[in-house]
Amino acid sequence: MSGDLTLLSIFEMQAGLRAGDFSCTELLEAHLQRIHDLEPRIHAFITLVEESARKEAKNADFRFSAAQNNGQIDDLPALLGIPIAVKDLITVKDLRCSCGSNVLGEWIAPFTATAIQRLLDAGAIIVGKTNTDEFAMGSSTETSAFGPTFNPWDTSRVPGGSSGGSAAAVAARMVPVAIGSDTGGSIRQPAAFCGVTGIKPSYGRISRYGLVAYGSSLDSMGAFTHSGAEAALLLGIMAGLDKMDATSADHPVPNYHKEITCDIKRLRIGVPREYFIDGIQSEIKTTIKTAIETYRSLGAEIVEISLPHTKYALPVYYLIAPAEASANLARYDGIRFGTRQSTGSMIDMFFETRGQGFGPEVKRRIMLGTYALSAGYYDAYYGQAQKVRTLIKQDFEKAFDKVDVIACPVTPTTAFKVGEHGDDPLAMYLEDVFTLPANLAGVPGIAFPVGLDLENLPIGMQLMGKRFNEKTLFQAVHSFQQNTKFHLQKPLL
Ligand code: GLN
């Protein structure tokens, strides 16, 4: 088949493979070529597994021809032959899992994350593990021990983070789908910066088994794609109860993709006044307002709402997430995982392994979290933060009595320059003001492109939904994307 296979949607890939227009091997090679051409400028990957991917593609081709011969093409799994990338914070058996950290270094994962196994069972082919801020702590992919990823729209800028490698890989068409994780915005913010669609589902919707823990009460796995319809297909495969994760929800998983069309005229969209504050880049404000008007013109009802505790989300998050992180990261002690530095006693080993293994941002989080949890401070910081978290959750519950989805910006600015927030952690933390609340409340959020700023950088809009109502988010994004072309815009690379 002529034409660039990397420009196809997943649905077009599925159809082309089934029609025999091209093979899984050709599809994979097109993506590997793209990776070879662009990786020196983008650095989306920490590990590439081209040879195993080629083997898988050959197997998939064999399954296609066997099915074609006996008329069982419709029985093949949905993602057979589709190349994917996985954030290097998620385990895949026998592949290195670094979490972007020297403390894990060459650690090889002994098992595959449940959600990734479901993708593999559906026929997806892993081409590599993508770059991430160290242990997912960051908003730019710059805290990775492997060096930063660069934004395909402007390689002097960051792709966002922490799942910046995954977002950049999809934006640059190195893969049609990449998996990421989101504790406070790490899927939605890089999706916005890179002009792709990113879904962070409800807490518990996708098993966390195999997702290396950052903030265990906040972490969600999710996906980057080019459209809401593709994201719907992915979530339908990844979601659902898992006996390996007691916090995974026993809640029915709809066929998101089949139910993607809705009557937008019955959709009530809430616009929270607390999300349109001073300090947001002016083009973001106007572009989001235009996108909301598009929804109005499609027949949706637009309702002004209030989420009064929004301003506390940032301080609450930066107590709870580091507190949970400080506990989770205690396991990297040189004994059980990854690298070991040791010149003396066992205590020396702990000091040396952790002192040399963790980067400065991770150390900052461990100190913040340990302080917030220590005797005498626990009630004043961690305890108080938990109470305010409940108020934030209640804001959402009240809002969702009145509206079906909430529309707002994803980020206060478009992609910033590499190094711009280098010595200012607070400026970096402020990048997540609009994404943290969804994690604190456990509700789903989706980011998708709605325009470009004056420097040709993507602007994303976020829709948040009721807990476990990802379906309405996909429907709302799909109807927008059926009527607009922003999701089809491409970086000029
Ligand atoms: N930037 C936020 C942080 O550093 C969120 C990261 C994430 O979602 N993993 O904590």
Segment-wise mean pLDDT, segments of 10 residues, the chain, 493 residues:
88 97 98 98 98 98 96 96 98 98 94 98 98 98 98 98 98 98 98 98 98 98 98 98 98 96 92 94 97 97 98 97 97 88 88 94 96 91 96 98 98 97 89 96 98 98 98 98 97 92
Mutate to test the pocket of ligand 1, among 89, 101, 137, 316 (most ligand atoms within 8 A of CB): 137
Is 361 within the bounds of a domain? no
Q: Which atom of ligand 1 is the closest one to the Cα of 318?
A: 10
Is 377 within the bounds of a domain? no
Q: How far is the CA of 120 from the centre of ligand 1 (A)?
A: 27
How many domains does the chain contain in total? 1
Q: Say what the pTM is.
A: 0.98
pLDDT at position 339: 83
Q: How far is the CA of 137 from the centre of ligand 1 (A)?
A: 5
At 468, the amino acid letter reads F
Is 121 within the bounds of a domain? yes
Q: How far is the CA of 138 from the centre of ligand 1 (A)?
A: 5
pLDDT at position 355: 93
Indicate if ligand 1 lies below 6 Å from the C-beta of 182: yes
Is 429 within the bounds of a domain? yes
Question: Among candidates 233, 299, 225, which has minimal Cα distance to 269?
Answer: 299
Mutate to test the pocket of ligand 1, among 133, 142, 318 (most ligand atoms within 8 A of CB): 133
Query: Is residue 87 among the annotated active site residues?
Result: yes
Indicate if ligand 1 lies below 6 Å from the C-beta of 183: yes
Indicate if ligand 1 lies below 6 Å from the C-beta of 162: yes
pLDDT at position 410: 98
Indicate if ligand 1 lies below 6 Å from the C-beta of 185: yes
Q: How far is the CA of 346 from the centre of ligand 1 (A)?
A: 32
Q: What angle do CA 191, 214, 166 make, to 5 degrees?
A: 25
Is 238 within the bounds of a domain? yes
Is 62 within the bounds of a domain? yes
Is 422 within the bounds of a domain? yes
Q: How far is the CA of 128 from the centre of ligand 1 (A)?
A: 22
Q: How far is the CA of 318 from the centre of ligand 1 (A)?
A: 9
Query: Is residue 162 among the annotated active site residues?
Result: yes
pLDDT at position 2: 55
For position 475, which CATH number holds?
A: 3.90.1300.10
Query: Is residue 297 among the annotated active site residues?
Result: no
Mutate to test the pocket of ligand 1, among 181, 362, 432, 439 (most ligand atoms within 8 A of CB): 432
Is 443 within the bounds of a domain? yes
Range of the domain at 13: 5-309+393-488
